Amino acid sequence: MSRFIFLTFNGLSFGAVYAAVALALVLIWRTTRVLNFAQGAMATATAYVAISVTQATDSYWLGFVAALAAGLALGAVVRLTAFGTAEHAPALNTIVIGVGMLILIEAVVGMIYGAANRDFPASFSTRTHAIGKTALFSNQNIFTVGSVLALMIALAAVLTWTPSGLRMRAAAFAPEIARLLGVRVGRMLTLGWALSGLVGALAGMLVIPIGLGLYPQAMDGVFVLGFVGAVVGGLDSPVGAVVGGVTTGLALSYASGYLGSDLTQLAALVLLVVVLLVRPSGLFSGTPVRRV
Amino acid sequence: MGRVVAALRASTLARHLLLFVVGIVFVILLTDSLSDFHDYQLATLGAYLCAVAGLTVLTGTNGQVSLGHAALMAVGGYTVALLQTRFYDDGVSGVWVLPLSLLAGTAVTAVAGAIVGVAAARLRGPYLAGATLALGVALPDITSHYSNTFKGDQGLFVPFDGPPGELGTFSLEHWQSWISLFAALVVLFFLANLHRSAIGRNMRAVRDDEIAASLCGVSVARVRIGAFAVSAAAAGLGGGVLAVVLQTASPGSFDLVLSLTLLTAAVIGGLGSLTGAVWGSIVVIYLGTFIRDRVDNLKLSSASAAKLHDNLPNAVYGLLLVVVMLTLPGGIQGLIRRLTALRPHRSTTPTGGST
């Protein structure tokens, strides 16, 4: 039982990270029908920015904020340079462009920082609290869940209550009508990519310290798990992405805890295939519509 | 003479057979004049070419994206490694041993590909790309979980007989380049015939418009699963050959980077074109070497030289992928076709249809 409790908290913490990656993917998917395969590489790049800023200023939190800012900027840059012109191209083209950006970003990071695995400091202590003999969670776990939750509430608030949020939703929901009503649709889409970059950067800052270490391909595996989370929840629904991400985190935590710790990615593959075959539009989507 | 030309024009099979024989003669002459190092590079090229040709048929001709083809290569590579070890331990030898292992690797991978294809047939575009990516990333988990059979990260050794004595002084690299390029020619020959057959036509029909294809009586699911099996068979042979060239089968040699490199080669060469697969494979093998040589000549400090040496080729490939996709979706072969334009334009690249 104590193991189950520990695995649950562990799963919630990782689930929060996957939820953030999933949300980053969904933010872009629902506006432009692009699945950004460079999302993980972008998050890794921002973590390197954090390390540089922390070394220069001696302040961890300045580095943390710099990573989030870099995520915003990188998201916008990636759309403006690579994806912007291909948004109406067939899915194959945007997939290939995403893969190209993935290779390019990881190579550029490798050229600057090298391929060595670096220690990456956690925001808070990773020592696990325990009651009696039952291990529970660490301060880092609390921060992980708390910060992802806070960011999501902030995002939801921005999208729901601010004029910019309204314009963004309009641009996503009906781009042509929005354009007729004076919304700068292109600019709104770029803003969406920037926000997605920010969410991805947060995920990277949270997950790289716990067990991954920082190297240019660090987020490849996490990206896949975030994608699984997004598919479990349904690529069209931000709420679904969050629930799907947490579900994935819990499922994989139990799988690796009870079946073997080297089976995480394999369990993710099984989960992905089952969900895709049983309910391809995700567990939390509305009526499935096949786009022709 | 005129009758021969007319016969070649009439029969696709005869034309491809002639190209196949010309290819074999070319390979024998080429590998003979090269150094061991260049022969080894050609051997790697042949292994890549098998898989890239398979991928270009799957992605270009049939419109199914795979970001996990290295996992299928691994199936072939590990099958060959296990069989060769078994033969070697039992003291079985002969010229037929390695071809048999490679054939078995191809068959096993084709079955694996058909299984993946059954799931893939229901997935579209980004979903399929993500699922195959997950497959590629999950591969090291399998090898480390069943480390008794697959020896974890370390991988398996691949023993095989060197060049037969009748050939005289014949280096191992030279022999490997023969094996590998012969396999690549076989793959190209089969896929070229497939491309021009009714099956190839059905694949293109399914790529361009599934609904129209099924209204015409084409079984969409069957075509898609078949395409995956064929593509996997080519990848499996490529993986088996790569295991023979590297003399080892390990997760590190079939990683995500390889999957993405295969896609890079297929796209740069021109998706859906087998000639393009040749161009693309040449680019990813030789452009990388070219760039690394230039970096080594720059006389940088050793740390930054190592970083550039390892990463600059990938940066160029990534950039090429994006630029090619944005400006020249037909790749090198598309460019050649446009420049020469001797034949009326026959589009085999998926630029218009929905995928």
ipTM of this model? 0.89
Tell me if A82 and B145 make a contact (CB, 8 A cut-off). no
Q: Which chain A residue lies closest to B264 (C-alpha atoms)?
A: A100
Q: Determine the Cα angle at A102 with ends A216 and B289, to 5°.
A: 75
| Rounded Cα distance, B281 and B267, in Å | 10
| Rounded Cα distance, B74 and B118, in Å | 19
Residues of A whose CB is below 8 A from B325: 86, 93, 96-97, 100
DSSP state of A138: E
pLDDT of residue B353: 42
Give me the residues of A, 16-35, that contact B with CB < 8 A. Answer: 29, 35
Residues (pLDDT < 70) of chain A are 285-292
pLDDT of residue B345: 52
> A184-192: long-range contacts at Cβ-Cβ below 8 A with a sequence spacing of 24 or more?
A186/A84, A188/A31, A188/A164, A189/A31, A189/A32, A189/A79, A189/A84, A189/A87, A190/A76, A190/A79, A190/A80, A190/A84, A191/A76, A191/A164, A192/A27, A192/A28, A192/A31, A192/A32, A192/A168
Tell me if A220 and B307 make a contact (CB, 8 A cut-off). no
Q: What is the pLDDT of residues B320-335, one digit of tens each?
A: 999 999 998 889 998 9
If one counts every other C-beta atom within 10 angstroms of the C-beta of residue B347, the result is 13
User: Of B68-72, B74-78, B163-167, which gets the smallest average pLDDT?
Assistant: B163-167
User: In the structure, what pLDDT confidence band is assigned to residue B347 with cuts at 50, 70 and 90?
Assistant: low
pLDDT of residue A290: 52
User: In the structure, what pLDDT confidence band is assigned to residue B192 with cuts at 50, 70 and 90?
Assistant: very high
pLDDT of residue A200: 95
Residues of A whose CB is below 8 A from B303: 114
- Closest residue by Cα to residue A12 from A200, A150, A141, A201: A141
pLDDT of residue B348: 55
**How far is the alpha carbon of A266 from chain B, nearest alpha carbon, in Å?**
5
Closest Cβ–Cβ partner in B65, B119, B122 for A95: B65
Residues of A whose CB is below 8 A from B211: 292
Closest Cβ–Cβ partner in B119, B129, B321 for A277: B119
Chain centroid to Cα B158, Å, comes to: 20
Model confidence at B342: pLDDT above 70 = no
Write b or e for each residue in B2-19: b if 16 or more Cβ atoms lie within 10 A of its Cβ, otherwise e.
eeeeeeeeeeeeebbeeb
Average pLDDT over residues B108-121: 92
Q: What is the pTM of this model?
A: 0.90
Q: How many CB pairs under 8 A join A and B?
A: 162
- Mean pLDDT rounded to a whole number for chain B: 88
**How far is the alpha carbon of A91 from chain B, nearest alpha carbon, in Å?**
6
* Cβ atoms of B313 and A110 closer than 8 Å: no
Model confidence at B307: pLDDT above 70 = yes
Interface check for B264 against chain A (CB to CB < 8 A): the answer is yes
Interface check for B125 against chain A (CB to CB < 8 A): the answer is yes
Give me the residues of B, 38-77, that contact A with CB < 8 A. Answer: 59, 63, 65, 67
DSSP state of A116: P
Closest Cβ–Cβ partner in B126, B145, B307 for A35: B126
pLDDT of residue B77: 95
pLDDT of residue A283: 74
Structure tokens at B290: 């070219």
User: Of B29-43, B211-225, B228-242, B337-351, which gets the smallest average pLDDT?
Assistant: B337-351
Residues of A whose CB is below 8 A from B322: 82, 97, 100-101, 104
Q: Which chain B residue lies closest to A101 (C-alpha atoms)?
A: B318
| DSSP line for A2-58 | HHHHHHHHHHHHHHHHHHHHHHHHHHHHHHH----TTHHHHHHHHHHHHHHHHHHHS
**How far is the alpha carbon of B125 from chain A, nearest alpha carbon, in Å?**
6
User: In the structure, what pLDDT confidence band is assigned to residue B354 with cuts at 50, 70 and 90?
Assistant: very low
Residue type, B307: K
Interface check for A288 against chain B (CB to CB < 8 A): the answer is no
Interface check for A112 against chain B (CB to CB < 8 A): the answer is yes
Residues of A whose CB is below 8 A from B307: 110-115
Model confidence at B189: pLDDT above 90 = yes
Tell me if B129 and A95 make a contact (CB, 8 A cut-off). yes
pLDDT of residue A292: 45
* Cβ atoms of A108 and B308 closer than 8 Å: no
Tell me if A265 and B137 make a contact (CB, 8 A cut-off). yes
Q: What is the pLDDT of residues A167-193, one digit of tens each?
A: 988 888 888 898 899 888 889 999 999
**How far is the alpha carbon of A163 from chain B, nearest alpha carbon, in Å?**
32
pLDDT of residue A115: 84
**φ/ψ (deg, to 5) at A216:** -55, -30
A contact test, residue of B214, B307, B309 with most A CBs within 10 A:
B307
